[in-house]
Amino acid sequence: MDYSRRRFIYTSSLSFISFSIFSPFIKANNLLNISFQDLDELLKNASNARKLKNYPLSESIYNQILGLYPTEERAYFGLRKTFILQKKYINILHLFEDGITKNPNNPSLIAQLAKEYSSIALGNKKLVKELNYNFSLLDRSRELYEKATSLYVKPQTLSRGQDSTDSGGENNAEIGLAKTEQKIDAQAIKIDARDNVSLKQTRKSNQISARTKFIILSEAELISKLNILLTRPFNIQRNKEIKAIYFTLIRKYKKDNRITDQYNYALKLYNFDTTDPYSLFLIKKAGIRASQYNSLDIILKQNAISKNTAWSRLSYIDFLLLKYRQTNQVDLPYLNNLIESLNITYSLTPNLIIEKNFREIEYNLVTRNFSKTKDLLLAMASDFRGTKNVHNIICFSKYFSSYYILIGDKDIATSLVNQILSSNNITYTDELASKINQLINLKSIYIQKDHHIKDLVSIKNSIQNNQSFY
């Protein structure tokens, strides 16, 4: 059948009219004024369908547009938004892979695919494994950014593409290339972010740059500017400014010890974008400082459910352990089940198995089950034989030190920490201490970095002051 543009508009009109009549998402008949006169109107209706959460219809219209107009950038980026809301990350990747196949010289699509590859490589190991590509996503990202940059006659920003009713942001290929090269140079895929000095320095530098833009404004000026921006339509670049103002206000309130204001604005920031990890971090810090444990419980539980990852579950477990230490108001069987079912619910990497074991130890410490704690510490001392991961050894030191403090043998804890700092031959009659001593004497642990030494000295001070970490 000859599927002409007229036929496409006619069939799309029928499907959209049907949607407007029967969809439960429409609250009033006049929400959408359906008139398919041109491409802009089609894009608008696809966008409106997405906003009304009718994702199948939104996808259908975008796909039909791309079938007729394979060079239309706005359809690619509009469909990407629809996929994001459904967490269809593989679909997004394939969308832009197909897009640059059909548009091999379109810098916007090429740069976006580069960004998708980079994001997946650094933040979604599960998806990397699922894709099983025979090339490095980060290296391919750099190649694509280089190509996108070369396709411009003049240096200019790359359009992110946008619906007729949705303002997008801008994605500069040169900036993307610089960031990707920095990640590659810092070996971001190989080195744990917690121990990656290069990435930490870069993040700190970026945070300082973001602060200086609004730090000169008064509180009243910041709030006024924030309120004005909040009344304007969605825009990626504008949202970054809104967040930057929130960050500045939260820092001001923290510095001035205005705990309630710090919490209130951290909560507003989180509600503004519940998907932003840094916003979640700030509301956790502010909520704990303000002792808003019940509110945080709701937020972190919902985050664990919506993200449904091992790390989001671990974050919620950490909070519940803290909440129990502070309030004793936690359903302990529920908390224990969250920990024990981690390896059933998720496919755990070796690193995640260690994190799960740490939480098991902490749970038994805070509930004062010292017999079970000792068994877990003995097992971990065996598991760590030959390890070179200093971060894990320092965490392990906090756990065994807390155990010895709580059972009244802090001298053993001090002696073991001293051995980690400077290995020496000591004989222990205590079973656990003897096992940890064997681990230390394997000579695979080298404490060289200043911040690691500082952490161990801090642990020694806590032992001397009889202060358990848990």
Residue type, position 173, single letter: A
| Same domain assignment for residues 274 and 142 | no
pLDDT of residue 167: 37
| Same domain assignment for residues 137 and 219 | no
| Same domain assignment for residues 367 and 454 | yes
Q: Are 282 and 313 in contact (CB under 8 A)?
A: no
Q: Is 199 inside any structural domain?
A: yes
| Same domain assignment for residues 32 and 163 | yes
Q: Which two tokens stand for residue 29?
A: 């008949």
**Which of 253, 275, 290 represents a domain boundary (last residue)?**
290
DSSP-assigned states of every residue in 426-438: ---SSHHHHHHHH
| Same domain assignment for residues 380 and 455 | yes
Residues in the chain predicted with pLDDT less than 50, given as ranges, are: 1-3, 6, 9-10, 13-37, 153-171, 188-191, 193-197, 199
| Same domain assignment for residues 37 and 165 | yes
Phi, psi at 49, each rounded to 5°: -60, -40
pTM above 0.75, yes or no: no
In terms of Cβ atoms closer than 10 Å to its own Cβ (0-12, 13-18, 19+), residue 228 is exposed
pLDDT of residue 181: 66
Q: Is 445 inside any structural domain?
A: yes
Number of domains in the chain: 3
Q: Are 460 and 394 in contact (CB under 8 A)?
A: no
How confident is the model over 145-163, as pLDDT tens digits?
888 888 864 434 444 444 4
Q: Is 257 inside any structural domain?
A: yes
pLDDT of residue 171: 46
| Same domain assignment for residues 49 and 75 | yes
Q: Is 308 inside any structural domain?
A: no
Q: What's the CA gap between 383 and 364, in Å, rounded? A: 19
| Same domain assignment for residues 76 and 59 | yes
Q: What's the CA gap between 372 and 366, in Å, rounded? A: 12
**Which of 145, 162, 185 represents a domain boundary (last residue)?**
185
For 171, the domain range is 5-185
